[in-house]
Amino acid sequence: MKQMLLAIFSALFFGASAQITVTSATFPNAGDTLHYALDTDPGGLTIATPPGGNQTWNLLDLQADQTSKVVYAPASAGLYAMNFPGADVVVIGETRETYYDQTNNQFTRVGYAGADANSFGLDVVARFSPALVERKSPLQFFDISVQTTDLSLPFPTDQIPDSLLAGIVVLPDSVRVRINTNRLDVVDGWGKCQIPGGNYDVLRMKRTEYRTRALDVYLILGWVNISGLLGNGSNLGGFLGTDTTITFRFYSNIEKEDIAVATMSNDLSTVERVQFKDNITTPIIEADSPGAATIQAYPNPAVEFVRFNCANLPAGDYTLKIFNIIGKVVWKENYQLVGSKSIRVELDDFKKGTYLYSLVDSQGNIIGTKRLVILKP
pLDDT at 154: 74
Q: Which residues contact 167 (CB under 8 A, 6 or more apart)?
A: 230, 231, 233, 234, 235, 236, 237
pLDDT at 148: 96
Indicate the pLDDT class of residue 286, thresholds 50, 70 and 90: very low
Pick from 175, 177, 200: nearest CA to 190? 200
Pick from 32, 45, 98, 60: nearest CA to 248? 45
Per the model's pLDDT, the better-predicted residue between 118 and 331 turns out to be 331
pLDDT at 281: 58
pLDDT digits (tens, 9 = 90+) for 39-78: 988 888 889 999 999 999 999 989 888 888 899 999 998 8
User: Domain 294-374 class?
Assistant: mainly beta
Is pLDDT above 50 for 254? yes
Average pLDDT over residues 208-236: 70
Indicate the pLDDT class of residue 120, thresholds 50, 70 and 90: low
Dihedral sign computed on CA atoms, order 287, 290, 293, 294: positive
Cβ-based neighbour number of residue 216 at 10 Å: 19
Which range, 176-190, 213-227, 315-329, has the best average confidence (pLDDT)? Answer: 176-190
Per the model's pLDDT, the better-predicted residue between 87 and 168 turns out to be 87
Indicate the residue type of 147: Q
Q: Which residues contact 7 (CB under 8 A, 6 or more apart)?
A: none
pLDDT at 7: 45
Is pLDDT above 50 for 9? no
Which range, 119-133, 238-252, 281-295, has the best average confidence (pLDDT)? Answer: 238-252
User: Any idea where the domains of the chain sit in the sequence?
Assistant: 17-277, 294-374
Q: What is the pTM of this model?
A: 0.68
Indicate the pLDDT class of residue 271, thresholds 50, 70 and 90: very high
Q: What percent of the chain has pLDDT over 90?
A: 41
Is pLDDT above 70 for 117? no
CA 98 to CA 75: how far, in whole Å? 9
pLDDT digits (tens, 9 = 90+) for 136-177: 999 999 999 999 999 887 766 555 555 455 555 555 567 778
Task: Please return the burial class of 125, using the count of CB atoms within 10 Å of its CB with bins 0-12, 13-18 and 19+.
Answer: middle
Average pLDDT over residues 29-46: 89
pLDDT at 159: 55
Average pLDDT over residues 87-96: 86
Mean pLDDT is lowest, of 34-48, 63-77, 88-102, 225-239, for: 225-239
Indicate the pLDDT class of residue 201, thresholds 50, 70 and 90: very high
Q: Which residues partner with 147 through β-bridges?
A: 183
Dihedral sign computed on CA atoms, order 61, 62, 64, 70: negative
Per the model's pLDDT, the better-predicted residue between 9 and 270 turns out to be 270
Indicate the pLDDT class of residue 11, thresholds 50, 70 and 90: very low
Is pLDDT above 50 for 231? yes
